[in-house]
Amino acid sequence: MTSKVAVLPALGIGDALLMMIASHQLHLAGCDVTTFHNALPELSSWFPGHRFAPLPSRDAWIETLSHFDKILIENDNSPALSLLRSAFDNPSGPKLSIFYPSYSPSKHPPLSPYDQAFSPHISMADNIESALSNLLSIPTTKDNGIQAPLHLTHRLHANRVIIHPTSRVKQKNWLPERFVALAQKLQKKGLIPYFCVSPSERHHWLWVEKKGFLLPSLPTLSSLAELIYESGYVIGNDSLAGHLASNLHIPTLILADDPKRMRLWQPGWLPGKCIFPPSWIPNLKGFRWREKKWQHFITVRAALKAFEKIVA
């Protein structure tokens, strides 16, 4: 009898792409997998053979998930996890596995035999592959099943650079004016920068068109994936675009705050380059300049130099 498995990534789309490693490896192992996520269905054409469903309402969580033999969920510290633990902490119910990107014995419940605490020293993609191998006791890979539609050509526009200046968390974003200054320098080198943001963010970025840059309308995640897949490079914050580009084997530059955090959250398929503020910037208690003002300490010149290394 085929085992029915529910996979529940955290809310971020980058998280969802990463947890698709679990979904795909379980699918290849012969399981009947449903991945629950509110945005990921927009990429369903990129994941042939996979089943997606929106997250059930909290009132319907237990009823919906009780029909599965196994439940695999990425910890996001939400109250829903406690609800699931209480509901399925019995031998006759579904086997609940929680993947903890950052596990702390003082903050989280004791690990069950099915839970997995990730290592902070390797990427999320490598952690998920390792966790699946431990749970399934079979060889696994980082393949998450993504496949570009046949009408697209990989890196068709090799001189096109996607600039993704936003993320779900504002503190992760480099300064907008520096993204523009970097784009101007790329233009002078014969490259074609495209600024890409979500539909809800687009009206905040119309000003870049007045600077002479393209700001395409991207109504769905699939349209963003198509644009990235046929582009030469991606530059952005620690966000969806970096993970998607890495997943599609597009060279990527990530501007980020903390090398320690990015050892875990770096794009985990095609290795990208990450650039950080200098280590000598104070981060002592009471100052925290590197943590709170990191955007001001990565210069346009440093970003351009890092990008040139990717091109080279």
Q: In degrees rounded to 5, what are phi and psi of residue 235?
A: -125, 130
User: What CATH number does residue 272 fall under?
Assistant: 3.40.50.2000
The alpha carbon of 12 is separated from its chain's Cα centroid by a whole number of angstroms, namely: 7
Per-residue confidence (pLDDT) for residue 194, from 0 to 100:
98
Q: Is 132 left (phi over 0), alpha (psi -120 to 50) or beta?
A: alpha
What's the rounded mean pLDDT across residues 99-107? 95
Q: Which of 136, 167, 196 is the last residue of a domain?
A: 136
Per-residue confidence (pLDDT) for residue 286, from 0 to 100:
61
For the chain, give the mean pLDDT. Answer: 93
For residue 289, pLDDT beyond 80:
no
Weakest-pLDDT range from 26-35, 85-94, 231-240, 295-304: 85-94
Q: Are 242 and 124 part of one and the same domain?
A: no
Over residues 123-172, the pLDDT tens digits come to: 999 999 999 999 888 889 999 999 999 999 999 999 999 999 999 899 99
Per-residue confidence (pLDDT) for residue 93, from 0 to 100:
64
Q: Are 300 and 229 part of one and the same domain?
A: yes
Whether residue 175 lies inside any domain: the answer is: yes
Per-residue confidence (pLDDT) for residue 227, from 0 to 100:
98
Over residues 242-287, the pLDDT tens digits come to: 999 999 999 999 999 999 999 999 999 999 999 999 887 777 676 6
Q: Are 62 and 107 part of one and the same domain?
A: yes
Whether residue 44 lies inside any domain: the answer is: yes
pLDDT band at 2 (very low <50, low <70, confident <90, very high): confident
Q: In degrees rounded to 5, what are phi and psi of residue 205?
A: -120, 10
Its domain, for residue 249, covers 157-311
Tell how strand 252-255 and strand 273-275 pair up.
Answer: parallel
Whether residue 141 lies inside any domain: the answer is: no
d(CA 163, CA 224): 12
Q: Are 126 and 171 part of one and the same domain?
A: no
pTM confidence score:
0.94
Whether residue 145 lies inside any domain: the answer is: no
Sole residue written with tokens 């990463």: 18
Angle (nearest 5°) at CA 230 between 227 and 233 = 90
Q: Are 300 and 176 part of one and the same domain?
A: yes
